[in-house]
Structure 1
Amino acid sequence: MLPANCCAGLLTFDGKGEQMTKRAILALVDPSEASEGSAAAALAFAGPFGADVTVGLVAAVPVPGDRTFPPHLSKQQFNELLEKKEQQTWSLAHASGCEVRIFIDPVDALLDAIVRAARCFDLILLGPVTAFDRDLRLMLIEKLLLHAGKPLVLLTGQGPAHRPARVVVGWDGGTEASIALDRALEWTDAHARFDLISVLPMNSPLSLRSEADDMCARLTRRGHAAVSSIARRGHLSTAATLLGRAVAESADLVVVGGFGHSRLREALVGGVTSEIIRGEHTLPVLIAH
């Protein structure tokens, strides 16, 4: 049963008595020692929004003949690692006032249970590739993006101290990019600046007016500063070019659409989503599908 405060849309009131929505965030961590800072980073990210946080401890039960997450663990080692992580998570929850939910199942049932739970939250947070079992993290991200219907933020080692005020959007005019941008508007500063960056090959022609300009006009009407620009890809990949521009512009958040191509094409020839979720980055990335 989900904790009482984990469902989206709870109403609270600010200091002026005006009604506002209390948001709910699910932060997922695994039992590995590398994930110790992920829950704290998730709490830091949620802090500026005043959101309720549930820390979800994700543990795939070892099955004989199948791989374990983390790898090469005996059942005894898994139980010892899980017990230690549970103690750390409950201690953090006691100190911070957040909720805890434990997900323990064989991997397929585990992924399905997390997706069902995630649908009751507004946002899902996941630590960086260095702070989560890599293979389990990839399966979890794909499942959540395609089946939970919620935006996912891939965190860095630490959470921001304020709401994102400078946002770089990977813009290709597609449905996924538009959905991701709409989701990001719920989690950014009320007057955030949005830079819509279209990454194109060096010899690609420019159009006189693009959907990016129309989207910037929409954002401007909502009170945001918004600009569109072209980044030439050169010898770097689309994802690397976009992330490089975001770092150069001191962005607080990067926004991309998830799996704009089929999963088979992403697996065979690569794609922005696949590269971002597999790699390391220094800025938090919001992905939605």
Structure 2
Amino acid sequence: MKTIALLPVITYPEPNPEMVVPRAVAMAAALGVQLHALAINVEIRNISNALSRRLVDVPKMTREAEALCRDRGEAFLAKVVLEAKRAGVDSTTDAVASNAPLLNDTAAIQARYYDLVLCAWEPNNPTSRTTAQAIIFGSGRPTILLPEVEPARKLDKVAIAWDGSRVAARAVADAHHVLRRASKITVLTVTGEKSLQETDAAQRFAQGLNLRGLSAEAMPFVSEDCPVEVSLQERAIEIGADLMIMGAFGHTRLRDFVLGGATKGILSDVRLPIMLSH
């Protein structure tokens, strides 16, 4: 049975940059999955009237904007095909169109038809952030954020951010494909947190992974004068983790995202590839 990862690209208003393509292809290779790239182009409703046609020619502007998005999408998909072929990764591509207000919702809905999602993460690109949030909380699929770092060609070392919560357990369950490919798993637990109900949570979870035939160790630590999300990422980077797995706290209220503290921090500063699951 094939495992297929979706790489969505929204082309409006700020498109995801093509620089994410090599990162996504490398991650697909490391995961041993097929890559499906999907361009999500804008479809602008015709709101013109006689006055607007005389003064601005809104229909022409609409056609030009839609054509620009399609061109961006085609260029992105062509780059995916080229990079995937070079890396020996199976890939397919497609494109869909959606009204501007529904672009992120479309990405989340499309993601439900794949096993996992690879998302570009660019700190200065609002599109990448809103797309990632929509997919993490709306798709029901694990999502790997790909920041501006070179991904590993193999997932030798994987870190798990574990606090014993429901979302952490859900994230690990969604990451079985990743964990089976790792040669070493480190369970990171920040001690002294109010939400941590068990003092030996990391040890218990690592033991459970070892009983399942995986190679895991516990690494509880104290976060000193540093937000939890920063401490987790710094410790993961220190041990050489190629990927960190964690649960995502959050819900939507009136179409605005209300994020848990650590999740909000992670989505503000992604320092290594992170698999988030809600």
TM range (shorter): 0.7 to 0.9
Stretch of structure 1 that moved more, 170-179 or 222-231: 222-231
Q: For residues 1-289 of structure 1, what are the structure 2 equivalents within 5 Å?
A: 21-31=1-11, 32=14, 35-61=17-43, 75=62, 78-79=65-66, 81-95=68-82, 96=85, 98-130=91-123, 133-134=125-126, 136-157=127-148, 158-162=150-154, 164-201=155-192, 210-259=200-249, 271-281=261-271, 283-289=272-278
Structure 1 pair 197/77, CA: closer, same or farther in 2 (3 Å)? farther
Point out where structure 1 has 5 or more consecutive residues left out of the alignment: 1-20, 66-73
Structure 1 pair 75/160, CA: closer, same or farther in 2 (3 Å)? farther
Q: Is the 8 A contact 1:166 1:194 kept in 2?
A: yes
CA distance in 2, matches of 1:273, 1:25: 22
CA distance in 2, matches of 1:208, 1:108: 44
Q: Is the 8 A contact 1:116 1:148 kept in 2?
A: yes
Q: Deviations over 1:30-86 (max 9, x none)?
A: 335661121222111112344221112234456799xxxxxxxx7576445424323
Structure 2 residue matching 1:22: 3-state secondary structure: coil
Structure 2 residue matching 1:44: 3-state secondary structure: helix
Structure 1 pair 208/101, CA: closer, same or farther in 2 (3 Å)? closer
Structure 1 pair 176/262, CA: closer, same or farther in 2 (3 Å)? same
CA distance in 2, matches of 1:160, 1:252: 6
Structure 2 residue matching 1:99: 3-state secondary structure: strand
Q: Deviations over 1:237-288 (max 9, x none)?
A: 11001011011111111111011x5567x9778511111122241x100000
Structure 1 residue matching 2:39: 3-state secondary structure: strand
Aligned-pair CA distance for 1:177: 0.7
CA distance in 2, matches of 1:207, 1:42: 37
CA distance in 1, matches of 2:233, 2:97: 35
Q: Is the 8 A contact 1:267 1:274 kept in 2?
A: no
Aligned-pair CA distance for 1:209: 5.1
Q: Is the 8 A contact 1:129 1:279 kept in 2?
A: no
Structure 1 residue matching 2:267: 3-state secondary structure: helix
Structure 1 pair 94/155, CA: closer, same or farther in 2 (3 Å)? closer
Name the aligned partner's letter for residue 225 of structure 2: H
Percent identity of equivalent pairs? 19
Point out where structure 2 has 5 or more consecutive residues left out of the alignment: 48-60
RMSD across aligned positions (CA): 3.1
CA distance in 1, matches of 2:214, 2:2: 23
Name the aligned partner's letter for residue 107 of structure 2: I
Structure 1 pair 22/267, CA: closer, same or farther in 2 (3 Å)? closer
TM-score by length of 1: 0.75
CA distance in 1, matches of 2:225, 2:65: 43
Structure 1 residue matching 2:17: 3-state secondary structure: helix
Aligned to 2:58: none
Name the aligned partner's letter for residue 28 of structure 1: P
Structure 2 residue matching 1:35: 3-state secondary structure: coil
Q: Is the 8 A contact 1:172 1:198 kept in 2?
A: yes
Q: Is the 8 A contact 2:41 2:70 kept in 1?
A: no
